[in-house]
Amino acid sequence: MEGIMINKYQSTVTEVGAEAEIFFSENMMVIFNDTAPADLRTIGVIHKEAHLLEDVEAGDVLEVAGEAYEILFVGSKVNDTLKELGHCTIMFNGEISADLPGTMTVEKKLLPNVTVDSEIRIVKK
């Protein structure tokens, strides 16, 4: 049996913005909860409002649509923006740093196939 996973954040996708594909093609995903204004919804993956139960840290695992990605770097604003807006930018690039404080980086793998009803979770192993 694997170690206990602690859920830090869990939500369900309600909408995939019409322009989100532009970011996907750059190995990026921008997430917002469903309180996001209309002009941000077009670029984002929108999910139900959820509570961040514990700060996200490098070494945690991001699960999106059944795919798991090790989190390598968490920008200084990621936990704040997740709490306030369910927002962060996720880079699927394998880097251990990012220029913008609202960015989280994860291991470089194919992006998940995100659709309405996909789950987004952040867990601590």
**Which residues belong to the active site?**
47
Residue 106's identity, in one-letter code, is: V
CA–CA distance, 99 with 97 (Å, rounded to integer): 7
CA–CA distance, 66 with 1 (Å, rounded to integer): 19
Token pair 């209309």 in the structure block, residue: 38
Token pair 């909408």 in the structure block, residue: 15
Backbone phi, then psi, for 55, in 5-degree steps?
A: -60, 145
Beta bridge partners of 85: none
CA–CA distance, 112 with 125 (Å, rounded to integer): 20
